[in-house]
Structure 1
């Protein structure tokens, strides 16, 4: 690890406690008749990168603003390193926040933007110079000290905003859609840089995003919020492969939702007109998630865990096709087809099959 990285990260590692870095306990927030957060609880461990993911109005930005101190919870507690930070104003909380707009001072140089918080804290000039130099070296901006924000690219401005927040060595960094203002190619590259920076410093990161791919690629754990509640909180792999509810399955990767009723012998009569044989027997009304990439095109559909569908539409995605299939019992499924073979044509019947363990039971 370079000396600059080690120096920036050392205080954070020393501050890490045995318990959660951040604990949100039963937090509720209402705006008039609208409930933005409804008794939400979650933990963030020291050095963990957590993404808050959800649609508009899910409560993710409200939660971030409550942790930062820009909003006050109506109920519940917010603990940082075991300390209730609710009485503290935003500037007195040991957290930093990076906004989507970066919020850099346009009249200040890169050096002065990064040094701003240290000067407000009364840090000595030699120490400021050393820490700013270390921070800029960490993100490859040595030599940019005298430039103004208007002279930087979007990615460079984002890196300045990041190190301005990290130079004060907070144990927790809050990020409000930090990559949202970047184009697709730069967003991916900057996302990897962001992840590397988090690992190097050891700070806990909590990031709000509406981008599923971004959350799955960067975070250690993803909290999926729905209507102010925590729908599921797990690793990206677990969320994608084992969604707990219909909403999580549909939101993450747009899984096909198969509704049906168990008939007592372990099989499920699917509303789409197929017979399911899941790994575990089911009775009564049930629902399963079936990922598009788990469905295979076969010569003839099997009697169980198979269906014959009609291709409705097709979209080319580089090394694969996304096919929209119409089912005999009604409804549509998304199916991933390999690009190394000619795809079927719209209106053509296609036989499909999947394995029993591809059917993920959904709780609600």
Structure 2
């Protein structure tokens, strides 16, 4: 069992039950020292992209503006993800403390925390944590804390779309450059980070980078994962990075409830490429999973047993992207609609090898034609599922051929 790095008992025991102990220590450190500590810990963003937290912070620190913002994204718009909600419900003080540490390191005068409008308990818990801060002497040097609510629309999870919402506009991603760290809210430098990312900071500040890395036998730190309902141990779990994906599934996920052999895995949510059972010995970390054609993303782990029709899965994933597209970019809109239609037709027995050969053509034609990264998201799941589970598609092609013969 991994040490619970978010637990207040663990964190406050280090300094004798003092409220916000990591924040007190952070205030004795320079912003540059905190950035170096984050770099030594190897912490990366937990919202999906896995971008090094220290590099994003360094970009923010280089901005000369006197007014800066930090925005914490707690909307958790990835389907199946429960980690941020878990932290906000059970460890709201740790979330707030980590956000305040980041705001201090970024020299930000305003801290925005965005939550889903339906997360009533999380909102109340966070408000209680802010009230606790106001009763503490630390409040004198704390930034202004604003709690905002956002919709469940998937595109709101994109950082520039989130900033649009917080500015009172429609959730449409912005053209970049400028990037949010250059011109975000009110045209000011704005650092956007995920709830889980900042929740790791109190432990790192109190215990040090080496202790944080040592939480993993590979010296790579930890991450929260959400195991789908198909797993014996479904739900949110803290998992060490650097072990094999197979160990993640069996030790921390408990294997499948069905007891059947795993046929396919998406280790990082809907935009991650599919992996076969033969590929499960890959190292569970961002770089190795990318090299394997998949992604760690925000740690939403989906697994499918040997009886699963992967064409049905493909149709579900492509339909999700079709529905989630904001429609702002013609290329993205066209791509998501066409990919969804191809998979739906194949599932309905009206597909063919000629039809599915259009998938890579459509993806290539629309490469880099979107304002944000959403246009790239359907590519890995669509291409990997076609390549690795072609037998499932062939069975549907045979159904299509039989229909033609009968007619």
- Relative to the length of structure 2, the TM-score reads 0.26
More strand by percentage: 1
- Relative to the length of structure 1, the TM-score reads 0.28
Q: Which has the larger radius of gyration?
A: 1
More helix by percentage: 2
